[in-house]
Amino acid sequence: MHCTGRLAKMLDEYANDLRTKYPDEGLLQSNFLVEEMRVLVESQGICLPNFLPRVAFLALLHEKVRRVSNSPTQFINKVWSYLETVVLRVFMMHSESYPQLQISVKRAVQTVMNKRRIFSVERVRKMVETEKIADYTCNPEYRSSWSTFIGTQNKFMEQVRCCLGSNTFQFEGHGVDTEHLREKNSLLVEQAFDMKMRVAAYWKIVLMRLVDNVALHLLFALQKLVAEELDAGIIDDLVGPHLGGIERMLEESPVIVNKRTQLSRSIELLREAKDALSFIGGRIAAPTKEED
């Protein structure tokens, strides 16, 4: 139960880090829509003016995913390090009566856990890479969030066009400066705002997937580890092909070999001492018999 609670706490911390550790730099006072306008200008082509280029959306999405790409793999490594500690503690506790097996068991557990860790890290890395190249979701929350965000577009554009109004616009609890946008092309600013709202709405889905998919993968990996891989991996490592592992377990460690050698020398010296004492005792007893 303690391990389950600890894993749940680690997952909550990971989810909170994804949401709070990497704030949107575009929400800084003087940076609002700057990156979106730059990407839109660079992705301009021969097309209708009221269509937003998908390549611009993917470029913005790719950069946001790149910034958080290390967090999932770091979390996976942290989880498997913790699980390895727990599994080793359990196996060492249950093998206390068999000290000759503990070294082999520890090595086998570390081998199995390291293989599972490598597989999980690679699997999560592929999840992250997929988010960089794909922009799809069937989650209705995306449309709902985007509709809420885009509903403020008219108010935002009025504020940008009105030179006498306030220079601060409230977006997701952040007060962003709009003064630097008044000298820009109005159509470009409007498209940049639309693009940012789409990315912001979709980013919530991406973060949700990075948490949910990692959590589901961990649950599946743990079940597979306990049900199939752990026992089989340990037995395979201990026994090995042609029962070679059993022979390794029966081999004495260098420390035991040294102690055995020293003990054999001590026994040999005691035997020599016994023979010497017997010889000396015999010589002492011989003159006594002659006197009698």
Helix (H, G, I), strand (E, B) or coil at 175: strand
pTM: 0.77
Q: Which helix (H) or strand (E) holds 176?
A: strand 174-177
- Which residues are paired to 175 by β-bridges? 170
Question: Do 99 and 124 meet the contact criterion of CB atoms below 8 Å apart?
Answer: no
* pLDDT by 10s per residue, the chain, length 292: 468 889 999 999 999 998 887 766 656 556 889 999 999 999 887 777 778 888 999 999 999 999 999 999 999 999 999 999 999 998 888 878 777 778 878 888 888 899 999 999 999 999 999 998 888 999 999 999 999 989 989 988 888 888 666 778 877 777 788 888 888 888 999 999 999 999 999 999 999 999 999 999 999 999 998 888 888 877 777 776 555 556 655 666 677 778 888 888 888 888 888 777 777 776 776 665 555 5
